[in-house]
Amino acid sequence: KATKQYLLKEYAKLPLAMKCIQPEQIPSMEQYKEIILYGDETSPKTQEKLTEYLQKHDSLKVQLSFFDNKNDFTCKDEQTIAYAELQKALFFCKRKRIPLLFVSVKEMVNDIRFLNMLEESYVDFRCIDFPWFCKENLRLIKAVVLYKKLQTK
């Protein structure tokens, strides 16, 4: 669990001047032919969004798909997320030099551990349901999450 000292230390590392990159200014995915998918793609609505995204970026093909199921028996609270599959996905992305596409980052975006893993991996990533969630905006998103957590502690 993140302590207040840890959060303050992480927050202090962030630069004072940061700007958000708008979705239309994010570098395109045209340079890639394959992606690795992370998330639950079983619902019809999610499949529809995924198909729409892949058609918009017609050169992209899903090479591998990963998803961490929350196991109710091992989770002590709702915020706990197992990241074994995410670590595998990041490993493959780094090794094959292809981006990671998140189906959704709902509760994960508020987890500092998740954001640190993405930052340390240096992997390019995008998200279907949250277009601002990309490598270019990661530090800004992390700053907001850290600030929010510091305010609640």
The pLDDT, as a whole number, for residue 152 is 80
Q: What is the pLDDT along the chain (153 residues), one digit of tens a residue?
A: 567 788 778 777 777 676 677 777 887 788 889 999 998 888 899 899 999 988 888 878 999 999 877 644 444 444 455 688 999 999 999 999 999 999 988 888 888 899 999 999 999 999 998 888 999 889 889 888 988 888 886
CA distance 4 to 9: 9
CA distance 131 to 27: 12
Eight-state DSSP code of residue 58:
T
CA distance 132 to 141: 9
The pLDDT, as a whole number, for residue 153 is 67
The pLDDT, as a whole number, for residue 2 is 65
The pLDDT, as a whole number, for residue 117 is 93
The pLDDT, as a whole number, for residue 38 is 94
The pLDDT, as a whole number, for residue 98 is 94
The pLDDT, as a whole number, for residue 147 is 84
Read off the pLDDT of residues 53-75 as tens digits, 9 standing for 90 and up.
888 888 789 999 998 776 444 44
Please name the residues in contact with 23: beta carbons below 8 A apart, sequence gap of 6 or more: 131, 132
Please name the residues in contact with 49: beta carbons below 8 A apart, sequence gap of 6 or more: 103, 128, 129
The pLDDT, as a whole number, for residue 100 is 95
CA distances from residue 89 to 4, 112, 124 in whole angstroms, order as listed? 30, 18, 12
